[in-house]
Amino acid sequence: MDQIPRDFSFDSLPEDWEHIGPIFERAIHRVPALGECGLQLFFNGPEAFTPDGVYYMGETPEVDNCYVAAGFNSVGIQSAGGVGWALADWIADKHPPMDLNSVDIRRAQPFQADEDYLKDRVSESLGLLYAMHWPFRQYESARGVRVSPLHERINAAGGVFGETAGWERPNWFANEGQAREYEYSYGKQNWHDNMVAECMGVREAVGVFDQTSFAKFVVEGPDSLEVLNTISVANIDAPIGKAIYTQWCNRKGGIESDLTVTRTGEDAFFVVTAAAAENRDLSWLKRAARGRRIDITNVTDRMAMIGLMGPNSRKVLAQLTSVGLDNESFAFGTSRRLEVAGVDVTAMRMSYVGELGWELYVGNDDAVTVYDALVEAGSGHGLVHAGYHAMNSLRLEAGMRHWGHDITDEDTPLEAGLGFAISWDKDADFIGREALESQRGEPRSKRLIQFRIEDPHLLTYHDEPVYRDGVVVGRTSSSMWSATQERCCAMGYLEHPDREAVSNDWLAAGTWETNIAGKRVPVSTSIRSWYDPQNRRPHLEN
């Protein structure tokens, strides 16, 4: 890097035939006409690459009205026209003209500005540009930037780690003697059976998840309730200890964030959101709070989060605390302070996997103590360690949406089947209300639907087309193998071609297919989830 002049921008480098020669020979073999057209210019120039191989675009979270379109990873020329149009609209409307989350600069993390990190990671992202883009591919360079206080324990339990927002996270758990590495393919990969075992352990007994990477913000001050109620579709003016599932929407009604807000005091709240959305959501919150009497503290790196999920979770936790855990004493969607193994813990009865369970929040210094106590107490109740591949499978078959895939800033809560989260009668107005009110009484012509691939040998991933009677009417948004259904399940949006309601009758009247590797295959459809369609499991009494 020190050898590159500061004023070097669009200059060129010497021709490098040794590098390009073999590639050009293969290109001529594929397209023989290339060998006859001649070369007018051999341009060898520098290119900007990003840590994840995707360019940056949009308004920076740090500086108002500072818009970026940079780091194009060798696709700048082909992207130029579309990027220029989209960025111009973004600047004019203060909002992107389409879902551009994958390129949004707000996904970038502060640590990614480190030169040593960039040198290691960008060397790899450049090398992977034209490599096979395997499903679930993990970066291998510049790892270990953010590590959970439970990392050593999780590693000892067989954790095989991936990375999200710099966090080392266990994606799956290897058996004793099994290689802790990915064997990539477009079929069932080497960790498939491990994931299935983890899923069934959670469904039938209890699983422990290290969810420390989830972003966590403390919001305090006299204006905190008003600010949160203005950006949330749910009513945040709830009793102390109430955990509220909500969305933050833009003025078009599109979902900007999907999260929980827990009231911890008269003017104090605790916000939990996805790891990858940390900067994006923190920026959204801070901009809404400008000029108000409110303090926002990002406590993500200070606090561990342990998920205890499954029908036996109550039995495990009951061995470690004297607080009542039955539905009357500790209702779903509430939060309480507990003492677990002599440690002060905040327990929230929530579940992202569709089971009875608790999320336990504890300071980093005490996290191992709580974890060890849970594992020991769970040993008699079938406790398993479960990773993020299992979590993705569990949440999908239970109908839990994932922001960035199943819900985006182009999808409204009503379209996504999340209308139950909207408090239409709350006193406070909220961003996006006018757009949602106009959609409220209309037929649901665009709707999030559950799909199931009926051939158990086939896998889907996302963005596969969905056909009704041979006509494309939608696409999948996310997909994962389901242990309980023993086949692939997916979510996705259907749009009625005549703007009529996407209803049960319309689903039943059609023949449904998707396209996998160029072949049409049958799928089943459902408005409700495939697993526990009545959503009773998280509310189990015993």
- Contact, 352 vs 393, CB < 8 A? no
| H runs (alpha helix) in 333-453 | 364-378, 388-397, 433-440
pTM: 0.94
Domains and CATH numbers, the chain: 143-154+164-170+191-439 (3.30.1360.120), 443-542 (2.40.30.110)
Mean pLDDT of 283-304: 98
Q: pLDDT: is 204 or 15 the higher one?
A: 204
Burial (0-12, 13-18, 19+ Cβ within 10 Å), 77: exposed
- pLDDT score, position 315: 98
Helix (H, G, I), strand (E, B) or coil at 271: strand
List, as one string, the DSSP characters of 118-134.
HHHHHHHHHHTTTS---
What mean pLDDT is reported for the chain? 96
104 bridge partner residues: 57
Pairwise CA distance, residues 532 & 528, whole Å: 9
Pairwise CA distance, residues 464 & 256, whole Å: 24
Burial (0-12, 13-18, 19+ Cβ within 10 Å), 67: middle
- pLDDT score, position 2: 67
Mean pLDDT of 506-525: 97
Closest CA to 336 of 353, 324, 320, 351: 324
* DSSP code, position 521: E
Pairwise CA distance, residues 165 & 143, whole Å: 11
Q: What percent of the chain has pLDDT over 90?
A: 91
Helix pair 192-204, 388-397: axis angle to 10 deg: 60
- pLDDT score, position 11: 79
- Contact, 514 vs 466, CB < 8 A? yes
CA distances from residue 256 to 101, 161, 252, 261 in whole angstroms, order as listed: 10, 28, 10, 15
Amino acid in position 4: I
Mean pLDDT of 230-248: 98
| H runs (alpha helix) in 400-534 | 433-440, 504-508
362 bridge partner residues: 304
Tokens of 254: 């599109």
pLDDT tens string 412-444: 999 999 999 999 999 889 999 999 999 998 999
Tokens of 63: 């500086």
Pairwise CA distance, residues 428 & 273, whole Å: 22
497's CB contacts (< 8 A; 6+ apart) are 471, 473
CA angle 414, 417, 418 (to 5 degrees): 75
* pLDDT range class, residue 43, cuts 50, 70, 90: confident
Pairwise CA distance, residues 374 & 362, whole Å: 13
Closest CA to 522 of 447, 448, 456: 456
- pLDDT score, position 211: 99
Q: Which residue has the tokens 């302070």?
A: 337
Mean pLDDT of 252-273: 98
Amino acid in position 74: S
- pLDDT score, position 203: 99
- pLDDT score, position 1: 60
* DSSP code, position 242: B
Pairwise CA distance, residues 428 & 226, whole Å: 8
CA distances from residue 119 to 71, 122, 123, 124, 142 in whole angstroms, order as listed: 14, 6, 6, 9, 9
In whole angstroms, what separates CA 366 from the centre of its chain?
A: 27
pLDDT tens string 472-500: 999 999 999 999 999 999 999 999 999 99
113's CB contacts (< 8 A; 6+ apart) are none
